[in-house]
Amino acid sequence: MSEFYDDLETRDPEVREAAWLAALPAAVARAQATTAGAALLAGVDPLAVTSREALASLPVTRKSELLARQQAARADGGDPFGGFSAIGWRALGLRPARRVFQSPGPIYEPEGAAADYWRFGRALYAAGFRAGDLVHNSFSYHLTPAGSMMETGAHAIGCTVFAGGVGNTELQLQAMQELRPDAYAGTPSFLRIALEKADEAGLTLPFLTKASVGGEAFPPSLRDWLAARGVAAYQSYGTADLGLVAYETAARDGLVLDEGVIVEIVRPGTGTPVPDGEVGEVVVTTLNPDYPLVRFGTGDLSARLPGHCPTGRTAPRIRGWMGRADQTAKVRGMFVHPGQVAEVLKRHPEAGRGRLVIEGEMANDRMTLRVECAAPPEGLAGAMAGTLRDVTKLRGEVALVAPGSLANDGKVIEDARRYD
């Protein structure tokens, strides 16, 4: 039995990149065919978007903007998807969707009719799921799409699914005991709770040997705890807007990018890609024709890893979830955004990476913009302090530091104030 889900996973990297770039014009055109995309990508020639550089010139759409557009449209009795979806139902004048889901916000997401619409079959296969397995799915089937994401992925492999959903731990544990599932899909914390309750009840679940987990952090300590109880668990990373973005393999060496998305890592608050290895925001262009999102900012931090997965999968890898990119802070009654820090740096080409550090006690805030610079010209710090004041409307100092001095953790704004 093949170790790989399909031949796409072992393509020559140059062939994959060429295929991704060749798909970009159609992806942009599909987005422009939606109401929101027409506004966000106005004036863009889809046929000209055939390179990473051209893609990087397009605006980033962040979840906050998607939510704002949805809310505005709903307030006027319009499209509840805010003009981003190509599918829906007859009253919207859109092609039929199979289901509609609601995520916190609320944000509404469509599910199309394509088999494995969310593309999670690839992640489940990498976690060891195989045709004929019984999968206990404890992700929610109510309102949010997580349950359907995993179920349709499992069906694509040929698995049978028990729709456990959330809660009812005792009943779910009873089902595990009586149905004897081979695999689990859900949050890692619920799996731990179920196994702990099994221990308390004197039950054993030796048949449950593999799991695909997501929806929350999965620290190595929990991974090892599950492994000690015979369960090899692997994490997947996806969103309700994009479907699968990346997944863990048996190598446990970063997360491999899905074949159906084009991923960039950009400097938080901007749309500018960062060098490989540098931490930034995960920005995704999906090739899904039903929900065509171009340069969708997830708000999550990660970094691209060098090389390829030791399992033989050749797609690029990222380090996994490393925190959130939204680092907005309130200073002396004014909000300061990562994009403002980026604007200050942009106005001074001599500057490298920067980090705005906010210190002091409440009502006594101090801002210092720490900037990496190899050979600063005379007066640069003072000039940048003036730019900082112009952009943020707040006074702050600028400290020039050597290249490499700032931590590679994706932070653009560090709130180091004391609140005690």
Q: Quick one: pLDDT at residue 326?
A: 75
Calculate the average pLDDT of the chain.
Answer: 93
Residue with tokens 């159609």: 26
Q: Quick one: pLDDT at residue 225?
A: 95
Of 196-200, 236-240, 359-363, least confident by mean pLDDT is 359-363
Q: Quick one: pLDDT at residue 418?
A: 66
User: pLDDT of 151-177, one tens digit each?
Assistant: 999 999 999 999 999 888 999 999 999
Domain boundaries 329-415, CATH class: alpha beta
Q: Quick one: pLDDT at residue 137?
A: 97
pLDDT, mean of residues 262-291: 95
| Amino acid at the residue 35 | T
Yes or no: say if 391 and 366 are a contact pair by the CB < 8 Å rule: no
pLDDT, mean of residues 299-320: 95
Q: What are phi and psi of 150, to 5 degrees?
A: -75, -40
Question: Per-residue confidence at 361, pLDDT binned at 50, 70, 90?
Answer: low
Q: Quick one: pLDDT at residue 330?
A: 75
Q: Quick one: pLDDT at residue 336?
A: 86
Question: Per-residue confidence at 295, pLDDT binned at 50, 70, 90?
Answer: very high
User: pLDDT of 14-52, one tens digit each?
Assistant: 999 999 999 999 999 999 999 999 999 999 999 999 999
The tokens for 224 are 């090892």
Q: What are phi and psi of 108, to 5 degrees?
A: -100, 135
Distance CA 244, CA 180 (A): 27
| Amino acid at the residue 219 | P
Q: How many Å is the maximal CA-CA distance in the chain?
A: 75
On the question of pLDDT at 290 being above 70, the answer is yes
- Work out the end-to-end distance of the chain between its first and last CA atoms, rounded to an integer number of angstroms: 59
| Amino acid at the residue 146 | A
* Nearest-5° Cα angle at 49, 48 to 51: 115
User: pLDDT of 69-109, one tens digit each?
Assistant: 999 999 999 999 999 999 999 999 999 999 999 988 889 99
Dihedral sign of CA atoms 32, 37, 42, 48 in order: negative
pLDDT, mean of residues 115-139: 97
Q: What are phi and psi of 306, to 5 degrees?
A: -75, 160
**C-alpha distances in Å from residue 159, one per residue of 131, 141, 339:** 5, 18, 45
Q: How many CB atoms lie within 10 A of CB 267?
A: 23
Q: Quick one: pLDDT at residue 420?
A: 47
pLDDT, mean of residues 134-151: 95
Q: Quick one: pLDDT at residue 46?
A: 98
Distance CA 75, CA 250 (A): 47
On the question of pLDDT at 266 being above 80, the answer is yes
Q: Quick one: pLDDT at residue 105?
A: 84
Residue with tokens 């990373």: 237
